[in-house]
Amino acid sequence: MTDNTIHTPVLLERSVELLAPALSAPAAVLVDGTLGMAGHAEAFLQRFPDLTLVGIDRDEDALAIARRRLQPFAGRTHFVHAVYDKIPQALASLGFSKAQGIFFDLGVSSLQLDRIERGFSYSHDAPLDMRMDVSTPVTAEHILATYSELELRRIFYAYGDEKLAPRFASRIVQFREQQPLVTSAQLVELIIAATPAAAQRAGHPAKRVFQALRIEVNEELSVLESAIPAAIGSLAIGGRMVVLAYQSLEDRIVKRELQRRSRSTAPAGLPVELPEHAPELTLLVRGSEQASAAEQLTNPRAKPVRLRAIERMRVIS
C-alpha cells in the first residue's frame, strides 16, 4: 500500500471550487489544519501554482507521509506538528499574518483507522490507545482504568449519545476490578455481552463507545470549539474557510459559530444597519452540504460528511 492509495479525499472538487476565489489571489496562503495524508493539500497545490501551504497535524506519522507526498511542492510547503486550534501561532512562527484559505477535514483520519495498532477500530483487536498524537500521555486504556463510573457514563452519553451508557459504565467498572481492560477485543466483548439482543440489531454495539473514548482521549470537541474562532481570526478579508465534519457533535459546534458570526448585530428596529453591526462572515452554502450519492457509493467515508463554508467580510475590532 502506497501513500497515495490509502486515502481518498472527501468532497475534493467541491472544496476546491469553494476555496478557489481566495486561493487564486497572488501569493495566497492556505492552512490545512488537518493535513493527514495530504490528499486535499496535494490537489490545492496542483490547482493553484502560486499557493503556499501551511500543513498542520497532531499525528507525526501523518506529517511524515504528507512530506513525502508533497515533495514535488517542497518550495511551497510548511509542516507544523500541532493541534489545529494553534493556527494563529503556526502562521506567526512562519512569518505570515493572515491566510487566504483555511481547510478542516475533521474526525479520525483514514491513516489512523487503517493503522490497527492505534486501537481506533472496534473491528480489530489492538491496544486501547486511540491517541491521534502518540506523544500525549492519555490513552483509552488510561480512561477506562481511572475514570469513575459516573465519568464514564457522562462521556458515553455526551460524546456517543449512547442510551446504554449506565449499563456499559457499570460493566466496565466491574470488569476492571477483576483484571485490567487493555485491548479493544476485551472492550468489544464486554459491550456486546452487556447489550440486549434487540439493541444489537441496530448496528455494532461498540460503535458509540469507541467514538466517545476517541473524542475524550483527543479532546476533540474542546479543541474544535477554540479552533473555529481561531481560524476565523486568522483569515484575511475575502479569505475563505471550508469545514468537513463527520458527526453531529462536530457539525453542531461549527454550525453554531458560523451562524453566529454571519448575523447582523444591529439592534432590532434600527432603520439602517451601521457598518459595525454588519455580519463578519458570509455563508457560502445553504445549511450544510453532503457528498453525492455517487461519491458515497465509491468512498464510504463520505457518507456522514457535512460541508460548511464561509467568506470573511470584515474584521471585528
Contact (CB, 8 A) for 118 and 58: no
**Is 57 annotated for ligand binding?**
yes
**Is 39 annotated for ligand binding?**
yes
| Residue from 31, 79, 74 nearest 59 by CA | 79
**Is 38 annotated for ligand binding?**
yes
Q: What SS3 class is residue 140? A: helix
For the chain, give the number of residues: 317
Separation between Cα atoms, residue 186 and residue 105, nearest integer Å: 31
| Residue from 84, 67, 91 nearest 243 by CA | 84
**Is 129 annotated for ligand binding?**
no
Give me the numbers of helices (H) and strands (E) for the chain, helices first please: 14, 7
**Is 161 annotated for ligand binding?**
no
**Is 159 annotated for ligand binding?**
no
Given phi > 0 = left and psi -120 to 50 = alpha, else beta, which region is 73?
alpha
C-alpha cell at 132: 491521534
Binding-site residues for S-adenosyl-L-methionine: 38-40, 57, 84, 105, 112
Binding-site residue numbers are: 38-40, 57, 84, 105, 112
